[in-house]
Amino acid sequence: MSVKLSICIPTYNRGPFIKETVESIVSQVRKANDEVEVVISDNASTDNTEEIVRELQQRFSRIVYLKSDKNQGADRNYLRVVSLAQGEYCWLMGSDDILVPTALDYMLEQIHGNHDIYLCNRTECSFNLHPFRDGYWLDPNVGKREFDFGQSRHLYEYFDAARSLGALFSYLSVIVVRRSSWNSVAFDESYIGTAYSHSYIMLSIVMNGGTLKYLRDHLVMCRMGNDSFAADGLVKRLLLDLNGYLRLSQLISDTNLRVKFLKVMPKTCPWYFLLRIKSISMDEQWSDIKSKLEQFHFSRWMIWLIEMSSRVRPFASMILWARIVFMRILLGVKAE
């Protein structure tokens, strides 16, 4: 039997978590089912990741494991893990997340629909995987739906409905992609180092007229507070997103559609998060961030208010925000 689905896990020094990730997958694989494989690309981990994976291979023979001689960065690891896969579809998976029970059978059933991309939702959990919120990448009113991006109407509707960067393929563990569609994209090497090589490929599939099925179901439990890209601080983490998605927007030639794409970022970064960023940024960093926020069509009043708030005492800042929000409600203007 040919492999139908490869669970593709790029990893680096995730020894404390990867066992739970893999066990959440293999516990759902039926003994006689050869349709599923687990592929792990280890980016030269220096912890006990290899030892853990080797032990798991003794219990589940369809684990493919390759460890690099040196760390080549996240982007090349994303590309390599798919290159190692044999499945018709690849489910990209973060090495600290877990699948919910029955997720594997459900996805195997769904991919018989032969779409290029399947996108599910995640349940946000504490560091110890205690669930606290079900998130939605698209507007919660959008149910399970198929999008044919060969139709411009569907592109507009999808970007209008997107309420988070997860809808624009920022988050690995909710993406299932046809491997032949992934391989058909001519990769742009300049995206190495952006942390968004996978998003480049996914958006290229979309802009080339691919199809996507939005499942709406919450199939993944996400371990919050464990973002390896945030190791250098929130300011650099935000700049990673801003720089990455400004570059990705260049793949969209339709000006109006590009604006809709860029306007997903303000939905992802609320004012209180930006107020915190302003409080911990150096002047040069904030100047850079501000110029990029304007390119993403963040409202000018909000940027101005953030800057004003940072110049007054916290209590006065709260009063200032409350007054402006109250006045906007009275005037019938939706706060952005």
| Residues 67-125: tens digit of each pLDDT | 999 999 999 999 999 999 999 999 999 999 999 999 999 999 999 999 999 999 999 99
Nearest to residue 42, comparing CAs of 23, 15, 62? 15
Q: Are strands 211-223 and 117-125 parallel, antiparallel or unpaired?
A: parallel
The stretch 28-49 carries a mean pLDDT of: 89
Residue 12 has pLDDT above 90, yes or no: yes
Question: Which region among 211-215, 227-231, 264-268 has the lowest average model confidence (pLDDT)?
Answer: 227-231
3-state secondary structure of 276: helix
pLDDT of residue 308: 79
pLDDT of residue 155: 97
The stretch 161-183 carries a mean pLDDT of: 97
Question: Which region among 26-35, 142-151, 239-248 has the lowest average model confidence (pLDDT)?
Answer: 26-35
CA distance 303 to 28: 48
pLDDT of residue 334: 41
The stretch 234-245 carries a mean pLDDT of: 96
CA distance 246 to 298: 13
| Residues 248-285: tens digit of each pLDDT | 999 999 999 999 999 999 999 998 899 889 989 999 99
Q: Is there a contact between 75 and 189 (Cβ–Cβ < 8 Å)?
A: no
CA distance 296 to 263: 6
CA distance 118 to 106: 12
Q: Give every CB contact of residue 330 below 8 A, 6+ residues apart in sequence.
A: none
Where residue 319 falls among pLDDT bands split at 50, 70, 90? Answer: low
Residue 320 has pLDDT above 60, yes or no: no
Q: Please tell me the pTM assigned to this model.
A: 0.91
If DSSP states are collapsed to H, E and C, what string results for 84-139?
CCCCCEEEECCCCCEECCCHHHHHHHHHHHCCCEEEEEEEEECCCCCEEEECCCEC
pLDDT of residue 331: 52
Task: Please state, for a pLDDT cut of 70, what percent of the chain lies above it.
Answer: 91
- Domains of the chain from N-terminus onward: 5-226 (3.90.550.10), 234-330 (no CATH)
